[in-house]
Structure 1
Amino acid sequence: MYDVVLLVEQELSEPDAKRVVDLHQDLPEPVKYHVLVPCHNAEAGVEASISALGTADLYGAGLVDQRQELAEAQKAIDSEAKDCTGRSVQRLRALGYQADGGISHDRPIDALRATVDKVTGREVIILTRPHIVAEFFHLDWTNSARRHLGVPVLHLLEQDETGRARS
């Protein structure tokens, strides 16, 4: 089995799924895709924003009262990420390939490394929108994955249903 881990920023479009499987159509062994969708942590995001603004002393205590709303927001975020993963997996399966998927609340590269190790991934494909500044400074997922993983890493730009690059 040739295991490929896909780190995606958002749901695989049909053109993206087709591009991915086209890369492996001539392999002599079966291919299995493992879709990984990073999931934002709502509470950590709010706390980081407050800290970045230097207002933790003013608003930090107010977070205690917001825990229920943050928990509900996290449930909605997780639900959307799971739906995105499910639809992405279904698109790959509809093209005749084995696929599974999951979400992660860990840092994307940490989750990617763990998934590659778990499934003995032989290749990583990262699908994102263009991130020009992060890419320029080599802080993007692809450059980080290349530094931390011992497998080939390919970066593809996401496409919408018409085949145009998403922005």
Structure 2
Amino acid sequence: MEDYDVVLLVEQALTPADAAQVRSLHEGLDEPVTYHVLLPLEDAAARIESAMGSISAGEMMASPAAAMSEVDLAAVRRDCEERSSADLRATLEALRAAGAKARGEVVSESPIDALEAKVKAVDGREAIILTRPHVVAEFFHVDWTSRARRKIGVPVLHLLEHENFDEQAGWGEGVTGV
């Protein structure tokens, strides 16, 4: 019997409750389900930019070269890779603890391009995107889910991390109380 392949694009590590919720979506299927988890590599550039933003304007005006030399780019990149790998391991452990067959990878390319490629590679039957609420991006339809629906050609479900189905119901997909 062939597996029912589901590709999960997650923004951060899933909690055991998130994993159980995902698993519950496929409990009644006759074929075995395999989850293929994609977790984007934490953006080192964004972390550096954020850190630079915390430096006061006076410090930057006085010696921008000194401020930049304090940032060890290789160390920041390693830290991002380690955090992303740890989040992936935690997600796979949570899914397996919920009774799921799961494998995954940290991806460095565009999350939607990675999702499209993985759906094609495993002949995915559906995609699930788990994110924190991103009200502005969702409103303008530039969020991962809207972009994926236009691109990949399989059903795409958007769930909000750390919210059960009841908390997500009633407000519209991906919006928790606008």
Instruction: State the TM-score bracket (shorter-chain normalisation).
Output: 0.7 to 0.9
What corresponds to 2:97 in structure 1?
94
Instruction: Calculate the TM-score normalised by the size of structure 1.
Output: 0.81
Aligned-residue offset at 1:68: 7.7
Identical residues among aligned pairs (%): 49
Once the two structures are TM-superposed, the CA of residue 40 in structure 1 deviates from its matched residue by 2.9
1:79-132 deviation digits (Å, cap 9, x = unpaired): 111111111111111122210111111111111111112222111000011100
Do the aligned residues in 1 keep the contact of 2:145 with 2:157 (CA within 8 Å)? Answer: yes
The letter for the 2-side match of 1:3 is D
The two structures, once aligned, show a CA RMSD in angstroms of 2.8
Aligned residues: 154
| Counterpart AA for 1:29 | E
Q: Hey, what's the Cα distance between the residues in 1 that align with 2:46 and 2:91?
A: 27
- Matched-pair contact (CA < 8 Å) for 1:127–1:155: yes
TM-score by length of 2: 0.76
Q: What is the letter of the counterpart of residue 124 of structure 1?
A: A
Listed as ranges, the matches of 1:119-134 within 5 Å are 119-134=122-137
- Give yes or no for the alignment of 1:5 onto 2:7: yes
Kindly state the Cα deviation for residue 160 of structure 1 after the two structures are TM-superposed: 6.7
Partners in 2 of 1:101 and 1:24 — Cα distance?
18
Q: Distance in 2 between matches of 1:66 and 1:24?
A: 51
* Aligned with residue 159 of structure 2, among 152, 156, 161: 156
Secondary structure of 1:100's counterpart equals strand
Unaligned segments of structure 1, at least 5 residues: 51-57
Q: Which structure 2 segments of 5+ residues have no match?
A: 53-60, 169-175
Which consecutive segments of 4 or more residues in structure 1 shift more than 6 A? none
Q: Which structure has the greater CA radius of gyration? A: 2
Give the residue type in structure 2 aligned to 1:4. V
- What is the letter of the counterpart of residue 90 of structure 1? E
